[in-house]
Amino acid sequence: MRSRKFLKAEQAALVWDAPGLVAGVDEAGRGPLAGPVVAAAVILDDKRPIRGLADSKTLTPLQRERLNDQILAKALCCSVAQASVEEIDTHNILQATMIAMRRAVEGLRLKPAKVLVDGNRLPTLDVLAEAIVNGDARIKAISAASILAKVHRDRLCQQLHVEFPLYGFAGHKGYGTPEHLEALLRHGACVHHRRSFSPVAAALARTMGEAAALDEAALPTPALIATVETVHLDLRAEP
Q: Which amino acid is at 228?
A: V
Q: How confident is the model over 144-163, as pLDDT tens digits?
A: 999 999 999 999 999 999 99
Is the pLDDT score of 191 beyond 90? Answer: yes
Mean pLDDT, to the nearest integer, of 181-210?
A: 90
pLDDT at 7: 45
> How many other C-beta atoms lie within 10 A of the C-beta of residue 113?
13
Is residue 191 classed as helix, strand or coil in its secondary structure?
coil
Alpha helix positions (H), the chain: 4-7, 61-74, 85-91, 93-106, 135-138, 140-163, 169-172, 178-187, 198-218
pLDDT tens for 62-116 read 999 999 999 999 999 999 999 999 999 999 999 999 999 999 999 999 999 999 9
Q: What is the per-residue pLDDT for 6? A: 43
| Interval 182-195 mean pLDDT | 94
Q: Helix (H, G, I), strand (E, B), or coil: what is residue 87?
A: helix
Neighbours of 131 (CB within 10 A): 15
User: Mean pLDDT of all residues in the chain?
Assistant: 87
**What is the distance between the alpha carbons of residues 147 and 70, in angstroms, rounded to a whole number?**
11
Q: How confident is the model at residue 223 (pLDDT cuts 50, 70, 90)?
A: low
Is 111 exposed, middle or buried (CB count within 10 Å of its CB: 0-12, 13-18, 19+)? Answer: middle
Comparing 82-86, 174-178, 213-217, the range with the smallest average pLDDT is 213-217
> What residues pair up with 188 in beta bridges, in sequence order?
none
Q: What is the pLDDT at residue 207? A: 75
8 A C-beta contact, residue 55 and residue 136: yes
Q: Would you mind telling me the total number of residues written for the chain in this entry?
A: 239
Q: Please tell me the pTM assigned to this model.
A: 0.80
Position 230 pLDDT exceeds 90 = no
Residue 18 has pLDDT above 60, yes or no: no
